[in-house]
A = this chain, B = another copy of it.
């Protein structure tokens, strides 16, 4: 059993960057990445798991660094043809990305679990650390805007985060069973730290925390729990985090995110740009903007040093 286990909670792009950094400084058997599945949805009859896939692509070195999302060496023949058929093209699926969705859907229909499929894909593509979905049960993030409740991907991709967010809900979360390996890792005597990656707290981290047992397991784990701010100088590095905070009536700042996590976290990693922020947790500082692989590894080292 691992004696230096790190459990990382992650959404997609931002979280995957730190997860990649962690994978370079933590032994594969000592790193368990809990992936948000609240963004998952059915599209064109296929089961799409955006955050799991971003993590898998990133850790396998298969991520598309030109687009900043999706697969490396991607081609778009499917999408072009779907368009010529008048099919739904609002969600872009590359030809290689599509293979993962088709194969996952086929295996899910055959009775395999999302976690088993995720583990097998990771193994085939040479990913070292484990990527574990928060639950094998469906949890679906929903967004309440002025027009009523909409599905997350409709908000996020379909309407490009334009609607004002009044409330978020994680449909299915109450009945979902946390993946047993996540709870086991959080209860493990070998646990060294819990890392909440610089993902959007509302739509990437809180769906994970909404699965019964996970928040309590983190709260009671007895080791440092560190979150890395997704806000730098009052702005989100990527995505709707800052906009969403404002709409939800929160202070749009690194400190606002820390306040949102509250006593769940013991440590909070800020960018040097936010050095003056007052937070209730033990504050640590490092360059948190991850452009290069070196940036990611350096931040991972800083995170682990902060909780050592």
CB distance from A182 to the nearest CB of B (A): 24
Q: Which A residues contact B (CB, under 8 angstroms)?
A: 44-46, 71, 73-75, 77-82, 84-88, 94-96, 98-100, 102-103, 105-106, 109, 120-121, 124-125
**Contact with A82, one of B73, B74, B103 (Cβ below 8 angstroms):** B103
| Residues on B with beta carbons closer than 8 Å to the beta carbon of A75 | 75, 77, 95
Inter-chain CA distance A81–B100, complex, in Å, is: 8
Shortest A37–chain B CB gap in Å is: 19
Number of copies: 2
Is B74 touching A96 in the complex (CB atoms < 8 A)? no
Given contacts A85-B124, A99-B85, A124-B85, contact A94 B77 (CB under 8 A): yes
B-chain residues with CB within 8 Å of residue A121 when the two chains form the complex: 85
Q: Which residues of chain B come closer than 8 Å to A79, judged between CB atoms?
A: 99
Q: Which of B45, B74, B94, B106 contacts A87 (CB 8 A)?
A: B106
Whether B124 contacts A96 by the Cβ 8 Å rule is: no
A103 to B85, CA, bound (A): 8
Task: Say whether A98 contacts B78, CB under 8 Å.
Answer: yes
Chain B residues with Cβ under 8 A from A103's Cβ? 44, 82, 85, 87
Contacts of A77 in B (CB 8 A): 73-75, 77, 94-96, 99
Question: Complex: how many Å from CA A225 to CA B93?
Answer: 47
Query: CA–CA, A121 to B81, complex, Å?
Result: 11
Residue of A46, A80, A102 ringed by the most chain B CB atoms within 10 A:
A102
Contacting pair B45 A124 (CB below 8 A): no
Closest 7 CB pairs of A and B: A81-B99, A77-B95, A95-B95, A81-B96, A87-B103, A82-B99, A75-B77
